[in-house]
Amino acid sequence: MALAASSVPNDLEPYWMPFTANRAFKKRPRLIVGAKDMHYIASDGRKLIDGAAGLWCTNAGHNREPIVAAIQREAATLDYAPAFQFSHPKAFELASRIAALAPGDLDHVFFCNSGSEAVDTALKIALAYHNVRGNASRVRLIGRERGYHGVGFGGIAVGGIVNNRKQFGALFAGVDHLPTTYNREKQAFSIGEPEWGAHLADELDRLVALHDASTIAAVIVEPVAASTGVLAPPKGYLERLRAICDKHGILLIFDEVITGYGRLGYAFAAERYGVIPDMITFAKGITSGAVPMGGVLVRKGIYDAFMKGPEHVIELFHGYTYSAHPLACAAGLAALDLYRAEGLFERARKLETPWAKAAMGLKGLPNILDIRPVGLTVGIDLASKPDAVGKRGMEALELGFFEHDVMFRAVGDTLALSPPLIVSESQIGEIFDKLANIIKAVA
Ligand SMILES: Cc1ncc(COP(=O)(O)O)c(C=O)c1O
């Protein structure tokens, strides 16, 4: 493949790429040099349709003019304001806008710069909350198998992906895991939330019996576990988890880094499922991916528990130099305006049915073990090659990039799609037509 000389770096070696097979990539790089709306431009000038919203984040589409202009204006007006002991108006404005979108009394926002930081922030707030209320024995954290909560030490400890954990030592003491909600035998080819599996929430009661509620601070789950293959919650599961947490005074955290900002047709999955957690972590879609930003939405009672004691004293010893960075706040406000002006969350809700229909059209192609559409996303499990788990998925990704002009995620042999919410019905057809050809080609 001929690469345009001007777009290709001289030396690919110094950059150690994250979550990437570096040596294979550097032999045959997949370089992107531009983007607009639903498309990426590769370094050889080809236009590729984006079936993954970048990395589950560019929900408003790429390089949208209002977001670009807001970032440019802010960069020329206020490059940086100290996050500790000073602030700037857009930080407060954005927190208010996010709180207004959130259900119930989730009305305070702590800002950070990524999903991983949001998760570690939420876990720390949970521990500190019990501490300030005199329940210092509540230190255990509970995650779930097949959960992804980023790459901080807290996040990998509560996360349930063996490869993300096994090289990094003992992690953190006092963490336990609920079982995954996915069972192919019981759930294969379910559209949306599967019928089977609500009872798996009761495993939390078993962990309470094992450890005692007085030692458990919080449970963290993704409402839809996206990174490990788009696993929607069984019908009734999240309600049951909420009820068990309430019974035992355990905080419930929804990690909405992917499900937030429209992916499931609502501002937050909490709204789709009618379940209000105690905290919501978010990132990605808040700025439509244009500037790094993350945050934690916190219920009023949690915030209020900290607002005690002498007023000159810092209430929570936590924060980041770039918490509520002016460029991120400007991008966030512009993204929220665009989501509202174009009705993109409602659009995702309306497109859910044609999206699922198009995805299920792949059923019957070679090696397909399961297809799981929910909201504007889908996980497609391909059978692994006998000699190498993950190889077929990677071949599909490469074929998509180099020959079929479509981008999506490959997680092992599972293909995951989550287009920008501006996708049209004909583009949905185009994405799945390309995917059908790719799946046949890697048979
Ligand atoms: C549910 C969830 N939590 C946390 C993260 C980590 O986000 P980041 O990569 O911004 O640190 C991700 C990233 O995909 C995620 O899906």
**pLDDT tens-place string over residues 128-145:** 999 999 999 999 999 999
> Is pLDDT above 50 for 421?
yes
- Nearest atom in ligand 1 to the alpha carbon of residue 258 is 16
**Interatomic CA distance for residues 127 and 218, integer angstroms:** 8
* Percent of the chain whose pLDDT exceeds 90: 96
- Given this model, what pLDDT does residue 424 score? 98
pLDDT by residue (tens digit) across 291-323?
A: 999 999 999 999 999 999 999 999 999 999 999
The CATH superfamily of 5-60+343-441 is Aspartate Aminotransferase, domain 1 (3.90.1150.10)
**What is the rounded average pLDDT for all residues in the chain?**
97
- Given this model, what pLDDT does residue 7 score? 65
Sign of CA dihedral 55, 57, 60, 62: negative
- Mutating to test ligand 1, I would choose from 119, 158, 291 the residue with most ligand atoms within 8 A of its C-beta, which is 119
> Is pLDDT above 60 for 5?
no
Q: Yes or no: say if 434 and 360 are a contact pair by the CB < 8 Å rule.
A: no
- Given this model, what pLDDT does residue 217 score? 98
- Nearest atom in ligand 1 to the alpha carbon of residue 281 is 3
> Is pLDDT above 60 for 2?
no
The length of the chain is 443
> Is pLDDT above 50 for 268?
yes
> Is pLDDT above 80 for 8?
no
Give residue ranges with CB within 6 A of ligand 1: 114-116, 119, 148-150, 222, 226-227, 255, 257-258, 283
pLDDT by residue (tens digit) across 82-140?
A: 999 999 999 999 999 999 999 999 999 999 999 999 999 999 999 999 999 999 999 99
> Is pLDDT above 80 for 418?
yes
Average pLDDT over residues 156-181: 94
Q: How many angstroms separate the first and last alpha carbons of the chain?
A: 24
254 falls in which pLDDT band (50, 70, 90)?
very high
Q: Where in the chain is the domain with CATH 3.40.640.10?
A: 68-341
Of 217 and 387, the one with more pLDDT: 217
pLDDT by residue (tens digit) across 362-381?
A: 999 999 999 999 999 999 99
- Given this model, what pLDDT does residue 423 score? 98
**Interatomic CA distance for residues 361 and 354, integer angstroms:** 11
Q: 68-341 has which CATH code?
A: 3.40.640.10
Q: Where in the chain is the domain with CATH 3.90.1150.10?
A: 5-60+343-441
- Given this model, what pLDDT does residue 1 score? 36
Total-model pTM: 0.97
Give the Å distances, CA to CA, from 28 to 5, 39, 55, 184.
15, 21, 20, 35
Average pLDDT over residues 19-26: 96
- Mutating to test ligand 1, I would choose from 146, 221, 222, 227 the residue with most ligand atoms within 8 A of its C-beta, which is 227
Average pLDDT over residues 232-255: 98
pLDDT by residue (tens digit) across 321-345?
A: 999 999 999 999 999 999 999 999 9
Q: Specify the DSSP element, H or E, that contains 338.
A: helix 326-341
How does 365-375 read in b/e, with b if 16+ C-beta sit within 10 Å?
bebbebbbbbb
Give the list of residues 6+ apart from residue 171 with CB closer than 8 angstroms, or none.
Answer: 153, 156, 157, 165
